[in-house]
Amino acid sequence: MNPDQIPVHVAVIMDGNGRWAKSRGLPRIRGHQVGVERVEEIIQSAPALGIKYLTLYAFSKENWRRPKDEVSFLMELLGKYLDQKLEEMKRQNVVFNTIGHLDDLPAPIREKIVRNKQETRQNTGLVVTFAFSYSARVEITDACRVLAEKAAQGEIRPADITEATLARHLYTANLPDPDLLIRTSGEMRISNFLLWQISYTELYVTEKYWPDFTREELVKAIQSYQTRERRFGRTTASGQENA
Ligand code: FPP
Catalytic annotation on 179? Answer: no
Q: Give this prediction's pTM.
A: 0.95
Catalytic residue selected from 2, 4, 15, 177: 15
Percent of the chain with pLDDT over 90: 93
Count Cβ atoms below 10 Å from residue 15 Cβ, excluding itself.
Answer: 21
Backbone angles phi, psi at 95, to 5 degrees: -95, 120
Residue 154 domain flag: no
pLDDT digits (tens, 9 = 90+) for 42-94: 999 999 999 999 999 999 999 999 999 999 999 999 999 999 999 999 999 99
Residue 156 domain flag: no
Residue 141 domain flag: no
Task: For helices 68-91 and 107-120, give the axis angle rounded to 10 degrees.
Answer: 20
Residue 143 domain flag: no
Structurally, the chain folds into a number of domains equal to 1
Residue 210 domain flag: yes
For position 53, which CATH number holds? Answer: 3.40.1180.10
Amino acid at 34: V
Residue 235 domain flag: no
Q: Is the CB of 43 under 6 A from ligand 1?
A: no
If you write DSSP's letter for every residue of 65-90 in order, what string do you get?
A: GS-HHHHHHHHHHHHHHHHHHHHHHH
Decide: residue 172, CB within 10 A, 0-12 exposed, 13-18 middle, 19+ buried. buried
> Containing domain of residue 46, as a range?
3-135+178-225
